[in-house]
C-alpha cells in the first residue's frame, strides 16, 4: 500500500479526532500525514462562478510542453432518487463515536468505527437486503487507528497502541485480520505502519519489513508466510502493478485489489524483481537504478501501466518494466517541495503545493520528461486529489472538478465522491446532493447526519452517521 491510493486509502493523522460532518476525506488526510509525515492514501454552476474560483488566467504552461490531454465527453445524466427518509441505521452504535469509515465491495459494505472510550468496532452490511451480515464485533480498546483495508480474503484493521488488549503484543501497532463473511477473528500481526510497505491482494498481503530487510507474502486466511525474500527493498519500493483505471477513485476506493498477480520489489542494489504473488517466483529481473535522495527528502515510487515511477526530491524517473530502455532521471520543472505527486490522468502525475488555506497550486507533471503540462490556482484548502475517467476531483473548500486538459468543469459546495456513472455525490451542510456534470444540476437526496468516510456501489451509499451505519439508495 505504500504508494497506492490507496491509492489510495486512499493517500490518517496522528490522533483520531471527532470527524465533523461532512468530513469524508478524513481517512485519506490521516493516511497522508502518517505515511511519511512529509506530504503536503473534479458543466459548472456557471462560467462566472468557475472563473471567480479558479481565475481566468490561472493556467500556466511552460514555453515547451508535451501534448496536452484531451477533454473527454461528459457522462450521461444519472437517475438520482431521494433517500428513504424513514430509513434507520442498519448497524446502531453502542455509544458516541469519534471516527468511522466504510468500504463497499460489490453488494457488501464493510465498516469500522472507534467509540469515545477507544474501543474499535468492525461490521458488515448486505446491501441487497440492507441488513447486517453478522453482529458488529468489538476488538477492544486502542490508542489510535489507521483505518482498514478490505479484500475478498480479509478485512485488515490497522490498529495502534492496544490498552490491556489481549489481541495486542507489547502495545505495538497491530494488523487484525477479520473474516469478511463471518466477522470471526483470523489472525493478528504486530507491525509498524510507518516502517513497512504493504500491498493487499484478494488472498495475500505482501509486506516489506524495512528494518529487517525482509519481504513476506502472507496467506490472508492464516497470516502465515507463503514465501519470504531476504533482500533489502528501498522505502516505498514494494508495489502492485496497477492500470490507471484501477486507480480511479470511484465509489470511495471501493476495495479494488490488483488484477495483476505480480508484485514489484525494487531492491536497494538497483535491481527490480517482478515476483508472482502466490509462489514468490521471480518472473523477471531488470536493472533499475535508484534515484538518489536530495538531503532528507523522501522517495515516492508507484507502478502504473507497466512503468515504475520514482520521485525523489526534485528529480523523477520513468522505468519501463518490459525491458525497454529508460531515459535517465530528469529534473522536475515545477517546485514540488513537500508535495507527494500521484497518478491522476493517463501518464501524468498531479501534486498540490503552496497550500495556504486560502489558495494552492495544482501542478500536472509529465514524469517521463519532468515537464509541467499545466498549472492552476485552486482557491481551496486541498484535502486530496481523486482521479476518474472524466477528470480530477480536487477535494477542498469548495471542491472543484477539472478536466484532464485543465478545463474547469464544476465547483461543488462541499466534499464529493465519484460514482460509477461518472457523476458525483456531494456532501454539504445542507445534506447530500447528486451532481450532474453534463448539466451542472444538483439533485437533493436527503440529510443523513454523515460523520465519517462514505463509500458506494452503482446504486447504494453506505455512511457512518452519528447513530450508526446508514445505507441509502441514491440511484436506480
Q: In the chain, what are the domain boundaries? A: 26-41+43-473
Q: What is the mean pLDDT of residues 440-454?
A: 95
pLDDT higher than 80, residue 34: no
pLDDT of residue 39: 23
Question: What's the mean pLDDT in 418-437?
Answer: 96
Reported as a pLDDT band with limits 50, 70 and 90, residue 30 is very low
For residue 473, give the 3-state DSSP assignment: strand
Q: What is the pLDDT averaged over residues 210-239?
A: 97
Average confidence (pLDDT) over 314-318: 93
**Residue 410 backbone phi and psi in degrees, to 5:** -160, 150
Identify the pLDDT of residue 296: 56
Report the DSSP beta bridge partners of residue 91: 469
Q: How confident is the model at residue 14 (pLDDT cuts 50, 70, 90)?
A: very low
Note every long-range contact of 167-174, with CB atoms under 8 Å and residues 24 or more positions apart, other chains counting.
167/139, 167/140, 168/140, 168/142, 173/146
Say what the pLDDT of residue 382 is: 87
pLDDT digits (tens, 9 = 90+) for 69-86: 777 789 999 999 999 989
Which has more confidence, 338 or 151?
Answer: 151
Question: What cell numbers appear for 266 in the block?
Answer: 525494487
Q: Which residue has the higher pLDDT, 24 or 328?
A: 328
Taking residues 27-54, what's their average pLDDT?
32
Report whether 176 contacts 139 (CB < 8 A).
yes
Residue 468 · residue 113 · CB < 8 Å: no
Q: What is the pTM for the complete model shown?
A: 0.85
The CATH fold assigned to 26-41+43-473 is Methylamine Dehydrogenase; Chain H (2.130.10)
Q: Is 46 exposed, middle or buried (0-12, 13-18, 19+ CB in 10 A)?
A: exposed
pLDDT exceeding 70 applies to what percent of the chain? 84
Q: Which grid cell sits at 448?
A: 443523513
CB 145 within 8 A of CB 158: yes
C-alpha span between 371 and 3 (Å, rounded): 22
Instruction: Give the torsion through C-alpha atoms of 84, 90, 95, 98, to 10 deg.
Output: -80
Note the pLDDT tens digit of each residue in 47-57. 222 222 223 23
**Average pLDDT value over all residues in the chain:** 85
Of the pLDDT bands very low, low, confident and very high (cuts 50, 70, 90), residue 379 is confident
Count the Cβ atoms, other than its own, within 10 Å of residue 126.
Answer: 15
Q: What grid cell was written down for 302?
A: 508507484
**Does the pLDDT value for residue 159 go beyond 80?**
yes
Mean pLDDT for the stretch of residues 126-131: 96
Q: Peptide bond preceding 22: is omega within 30 degrees of 0, i.e. cis? A: yes
Q: What is the pLDDT of residues 243-262, one digit of tens each?
A: 999 999 999 875 689 999 99
Which has the closest alpha carbon to 24: 316, 415, 356? 415
Kindly state the DSSP code that residue 334 receives in the 8-state scheme: S
pLDDT score for 397: 82
Q: What is the mean pLDDT of residues 220-237?
A: 97
User: Would you state the pLDDT for residue 354?
Assistant: 83
**pLDDT value of residue 67:** 58
Distances in whole angstroms, Cα of residue 415 to Cα of each of 22, 79, 115, 202: 7, 21, 24, 30
Contacts of residue 243, defined as CB under 8 A and 6 or more positions apart, other chains included, come to 259, 304, 305
Amino acid at each position: 500500500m505504500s504508494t497506492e491510493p490507496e491509492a489510495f486509502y486512499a493517500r490518517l493523522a496522528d490522533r483520531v479526532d471527532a470527524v465533523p460532518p461532512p468530513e469524508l476525506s478524513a481517512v485519506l488526510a490521516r493516511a497522508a500525514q502518517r505515511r511519511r509525515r512529509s506530504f503536503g492514501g473534479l458543466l459548472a454552476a456557471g462560467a462566472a462562478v468557475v472563473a471567480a474560483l479558479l481565475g481566468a488566467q490561472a493556467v500556466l504552461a511552460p514555453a515547451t510542453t508535451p501534448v496536452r490531454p484531451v477533454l473527454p465527453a461528459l457522462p450521461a445524466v444519472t437517475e438520482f432518487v431521494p433517500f428513504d427518509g424513514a430509513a434507520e441505521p442498519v448497524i446502531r452504535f453502542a455509544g458516541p463515536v469519534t471516527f468511522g469509515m466504510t468500504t463497499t465491495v460489490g453488494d457488501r459494505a464493510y465498516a469500522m468505527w472507534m467509540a469515545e472510550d477507544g474501543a474499535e468496532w468492525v461490521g458488515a452490511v448486505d446491501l441487497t437486503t440492507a441488513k447486517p451480515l453478522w453482529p458488529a464485533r468489538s476488538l477492544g480498546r486502542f490508542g489510535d487507528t489507521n483505518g482498514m483495508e478490505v479484500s475478498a480474503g480479509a478485512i485488515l484493521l490497522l490498529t495502534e497502541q492496544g490498552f490491556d488488549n489481549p489481541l495486542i503484543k507489547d502495545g505495538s501497532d497491530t494488523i487484525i485480520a477479520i473474516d469478511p463473511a463471518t466477522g470471526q477473528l483470523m489472525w493478528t500481526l504486530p507491525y509498524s505502519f510507518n516502517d513497512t510497505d504493504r500491498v493487499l491482494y484478494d488472498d495475500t498481503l505482501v509486506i516489506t519489513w524495512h528494518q529487517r530487510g525482509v519481504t513476506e507474502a502472507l496467506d490472508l486466511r492464516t497470516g502465515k508466510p507463503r514465501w519470504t525474500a531476504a533482500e533489502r527493498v528501498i522505502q516505498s519500493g514494494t508495489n502492485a502493478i496497477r492500470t490507471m483505471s484501477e486507480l480511479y477513485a470511484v465509489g470511495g476506493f471501493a476495495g479494488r485489489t490488483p488484477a495483476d498477480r505480480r508484485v514489484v520489489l525494487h531492491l536497494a542494489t538497483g535491481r527490480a524483481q517482478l515476483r508472482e504473488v502466490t509462489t514468490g517466483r521471480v518472473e523477471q529481473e531488470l536493472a533499475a537504478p535508484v534515484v538518489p535522495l536530495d538531503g532528507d527528502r523522501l522517495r515516492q515510487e508507484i507502478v502504473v501501466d507497466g512503468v515504475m515511477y520514482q520521485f525523489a526530491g526534485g528529480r523523477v524517473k520513468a522505468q519501463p518494466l518490459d525491458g525497454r530502455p529508460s531515459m535517465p532521471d530528469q529534473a522536475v520543472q515545477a517546485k514540488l517541495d513537500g508535495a507527494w505527486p500521484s497518478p491522476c490522468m493517463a501518464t501524468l502525475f498531479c501534486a498540490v503545493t503552496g497550500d495556504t488555506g486560502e489558495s494552492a497550486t495544482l501542478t500536472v507533471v509529465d514524469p517521463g520528461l519532468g515537464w509541467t503540462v499545466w498549472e492552476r490556482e485552486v482557491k481551496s484548502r486541498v484535502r486530496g486529489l481523486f482521479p476518474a475517467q472524466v477528470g480530477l476531483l480536487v477535494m477542498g473548500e469548495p471542491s472543484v472538478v477539472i478536466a484532464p486538459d485543465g478545463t474547469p468543469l464544476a465547483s461543488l459546495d462541499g466534499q464529493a465522491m465519484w460514482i460509477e456513472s461518472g457523476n458525483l455525490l456531494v456532501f454539504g451542510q445542507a445534506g447530500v446532493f447528486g451532481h450532474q456534470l453534463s448539466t451542472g444540476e444538483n439533485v437533493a437526496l436527503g440529510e443523513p447526519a454523515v460523520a465519517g468516510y462514505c463509500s458506494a456501489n452503482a446504486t447504494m451509499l453506505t455512511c457512518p452517521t452519528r447513530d450508526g451505519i446508514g445505507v441509502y439508495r441514491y440511484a436506480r
